[in-house]
Amino acid sequence: MVDFIGVGRVRELLGRRGTAHFIEELAGEIEADFRRWEAFEKSSRHASHSSVGVIELMPASDGRLYAFKYVNGHPKNTQEGLLTVTAFGVLADVQTGYPLLLSELTLTTALRTAATSALAARYMARRHSRVMALIGNGAQAEFQTIAFHHLLGIREVRLYDTDSAATDKLERNLARLRLPGLRVVRYASTAEAVRTADIITTATADKRNATILTPELIVPGVHVNAVGGDCPGKTELHREILLRSDVRVVVEYEPQSRIEGEIQQMPADYPVNELEAVLAGRAPGRASNDEVTVFDSVGFALEDFSALRYLWRIHQEERGAHLQVDLVPELKDPKDLFGLVLPQPQRLVTTAEVAA
Ligand SMILES: NC(=O)c1ccc[n+]([C@@H]2O[C@H](COP(=O)([O-])OP(=O)(O)OC[C@H]3O[C@@H](n4cnc5c(N)ncnc54)[C@H](O)[C@@H]3O)[C@@H](O)[C@H]2O)c1
C-alpha cells in the first residue's frame, strides 16, 4: 500500500500546523535542499504545450528519494470555474523504485511557491521592507501574502487585479485571517499599487508576453518577485526592466529559466545567478540598497521534492486520516503477477452459511 495525501488531508495538516508555520517550515526544507544542490539530479521540466495551456512533468532525485510533479497551467480555466493551476505528485524510494507517497500538490504548489518567494526575498529585498504590492489576486495571492507577512515582516499589502472580484475575494480572505499588524489596501491600477512599494509580487495569469510592470514603475531599491511568467511566451516584465544597468536577476535553475522565465526575453549570455549560489553565499542576493532585484521565479522540481518529503513527514507525525491506496500489487511470489488476474479459487460454502 502507498500513503495517500489528498486535499482534505493537506487542509487537516494546515489546520494543525497553521499555514504560516507550515510555509516557514517548508521554506526551511527548501533552503536546506538548495544548499545541497550538488546532491541532486536536476533537469528542466518536460512541458507539453497547447494553444490554451501547458501540462508539465517535474522530476528531481537526491539518489535516495525520487519525486515528480504533474502540473498544469491554463489561464483561461477560471472562466469555466476551474483552477488555473492543479497538481499532484509522487515520492518514491530510489533503492526499490517503489512509490512511497501519492499526494495532492495543488494547495502544496501554492504553499511551496510562497515559501520559495519569501526565501528568495529574504536574501534579495532590502532589510526592513514593509510594503508589498501584489499584482494578480488569484489562487496564489493569500499564500504569498501570508509568507511575506510572516517571513519578511511585511506590514502593508497593496492589491490590484484586472478582475475586481479577485481582489474582493482576497480582501475578504485576508480580513478573516486577521494577520497581526497587516494593513490591506486596494488600488485601481498597477501603477498606483506599486508606487513606493518595497517589494512587488506579480502573480498574474495570461498566456502571452504581458507587460504587467513597465520600466517607469521600477524605482531603485525595489525587489520584484515575478511569479506568473513561467512558460515560453508567458512573461510579466517589460524587457527594458531586465536591461537596466542596476538590475540583479536570480533564477532557480538556469537552464529551465532561460526557456521559461522572464529572461527568455534576453540573449543566452544575459547574466543571472542561481538561487542556490545566493543561499550558499557565493553570489549576493543584493549588493546595495539602490539595486533593483528580480527573483525570476518559474518553479523548480527541487521545491516540489522538498514539499513532498516535508508533507510525508508531517503526515506521519500528525494525527488524523492516514489513507493508503493500493497503487502497487502486494504478492507472495513477486514473479507471479498474473496470479492477481486469475480467478480466485472458489471456496466451498457450508450449509450453515447458506442458511444464514
Ligand atoms: N513561479 C511559480 O513557481 C508558480 C507557481 C504557481 C503558479 N505560477 C503562476 O502564477 C500565476 C498566478 O497563478 P494563480 O494560480 O494565482 O492564477 P489565477 O488565475 O488564480 O490568478 C491570476 C490572476 O491574475 C489576474 N490578472 C491577469 N492579468 C492581469 C493583469 N494584466 N493585471 C493584473 N492582474 C491580472 C487575473 O485576473 C487573476 O485573478 C500563473 O501564471 C501561474 O502559472 C507560478
Q: From CA 206, how far away is CA 228, in angstroms rounded? A: 8
Q: Which residues of the chain have pLDDT under 50?
A: none
Half-sphere exposure of 261 (CA within 13 A, CB side): 28
Which pLDDT does position 354 carry in this prediction?
Answer: 62
Pocket of ligand 1 (CB under 6 A): 73, 75, 78, 84-85, 109, 113, 135-140, 160-163, 166, 190, 203-206, 210, 212, 227-228, 230, 297-299
Residue position matching grid coordinates 488555473: 84
Q: From CA 347, how far away is CA 71, in angstroms rounded? A: 46
Which pLDDT does position 303 carry in this prediction?
Answer: 98
Which pLDDT does position 50 carry in this prediction?
Answer: 96
The CA 228 to ligand 1 mean position distance, Å, reads 5
Catalytic residues, which ones? 230
Residue closest via CA to ligand 1's atom 3 equals 299
pTM: 0.96
Which pLDDT does position 353 carry in this prediction?
Answer: 67
Which pLDDT does position 351 carry in this prediction?
Answer: 67
Please list, in sequence order, all residues whose beta carbon lies within 8 angstroms of the beta carbon of residue 40, skipping any fewer than 6 positions away. 33, 60, 61, 62, 302, 305
What is the CB neighbour count within 10 angstroms for residue 39? 11
The CA 345 to ligand 1 mean position distance, Å, reads 56
Q: What is the pLDDT of residues 143-156, one digit of tens each?
A: 999 999 999 999 99
Q: Which of 46, 75, 207, 218 is nearest to 138 (CA)?
A: 75
Q: Which residues pair with 47 in a beta bridge?
A: 56
Which pLDDT does position 320 carry in this prediction?
Answer: 87
Which pLDDT does position 195 carry in this prediction?
Answer: 98
Q: What is the pLDDT of residues 342-355, one digit of tens each?
A: 998 776 666 666 66
Q: From CA 336, how far away is CA 128, in angstroms rounded? A: 64
Q: From CA 25, how far away is CA 35, in angstroms rounded? A: 15
Q: From CA 222, how far away is CA 130, in angstroms rounded? A: 11
Which pLDDT does position 147 carry in this prediction?
Answer: 98
Which pLDDT does position 345 carry in this prediction?
Answer: 75
Q: What are phi and psi of 208, to 5 degrees?
A: -165, 170
